Structure 1
């Protein structure tokens, strides 16, 4: 059973962090460069960011359960435990706070595109906050990958 939990643990880290990096730094830029319609690219990218957000929350919950089942309350003394917690909180803030706010700004701008409306500045600020949060998550994810074996001790 121990080998299975290790395999699941490493799979979840790979899925979550790999997804973060693939969507944020490969897929989204290609969408904006290739589609020719920035609004459509934004909608598709938004759906992909929401998908990796849900994957992240499920992965974080599972990773924390694995760590707790292996180490009990001592898991809280492990730095990687807290990296997963912080990443999960960032994911939740983005998924339940920032992304819905940006969707609402787009809806409020209709029939114009948000970047052509009076809401442009607010959207740009929230997009910037979202991008910084995503970058921080990605860097914490890299740390999680590099030190992942320590989370099982």
Structure 2
């Protein structure tokens, strides 16, 4: 029982950090900083950190869930799929979307423009929309997972 509580505690902190960074800190950055380029760079750094945290914790919780299943906690069999989906979201963001967006940002800056004022703005905007969708999906999966684990054990 203690192991399950530790699992839920770690998961809760992780999902809370995802929600805090994506839906509280990032909008606050853009609302309070007068330079949206600086806000975007800070937000990007926060999302990179959150991505590393997400990859580490999703792998760690998958291993933890496997141990719980081996101990006879059958409810954690399906939980592993949710964690894998969250890991896939983090990997897509960290290894595909963020590097592509960083590349576009750097290319625009090398021509003397912020990315949103450059000819690359439309491509960057599409990638940003996709990255936001992946982040939203990861957030929702985390919330569903917490909801499922909050159900009392029969």
The CA distance in 2 between the partners of 1:63 and 1:149, in whole Å, is 16
Change over 3 Å in CA distance of 1:88–1:76 after alignment to 2:
farther
The CA distance in 1 between the partners of 2:15 and 2:5, in whole Å, is 15
Q: Confirm whether residue 15 of structure 1 aligns to residue 13 of structure 2.
A: yes
1:149 shift after superposition: 5.1
Q: Confirm whether residue 61 of structure 1 aligns to residue 62 of structure 2.
A: no
1:62-92 deviation per Cα after TM superposition (whole angstroms, max 9, x unaligned): 11111111213x9798322101101101101
- 1:78 partner SS: helix
Gaps of 5+ in 1: none
TM-score w.r.t. length of structure 2 = 0.89
The CA distance in 2 between the partners of 1:95 and 1:14, in whole Å, is 22
Change over 3 Å in CA distance of 1:75–1:108 after alignment to 2:
farther
1:132 shift after superposition: 0.7
Whether the aligned pair in 2 keeps the contact of 1:16 and 1:52 (CA below 8 Å) is no
TM-score w.r.t. length of structure 1 = 0.89
What residue in structure 1 maps to residue 114 of structure 2? 113
Root-mean-square deviation over aligned CA pairs: 2.2
Instruction: Please list every run of at least 4 consecutive aligned residues from structure 1 whose deviation after the TM superposition is greater than 4 angstroms.
Output: 74-77
Point out which structure has higher relative CO (alpha carbons under 8 A, 6+ apart): 1
The CA distance in 2 between the partners of 1:146 and 1:98, in whole Å, is 29
Among residues 29, 32, 37, which one is paired with 1:34 in the alignment? 32
Q: Confirm whether residue 84 of structure 1 aligns to residue 83 of structure 2.
A: yes
The CA distance in 2 between the partners of 1:77 and 1:30, in whole Å, is 36
- 1:36 partner SS: coil
Tell me the number of residue pairs that the alignment of Structure 1 and Structure 2 aligns: 150
What residue in structure 1 maps to residue 4 of structure 2? 6
What residue in structure 2 maps to residue 122 of structure 1? 123
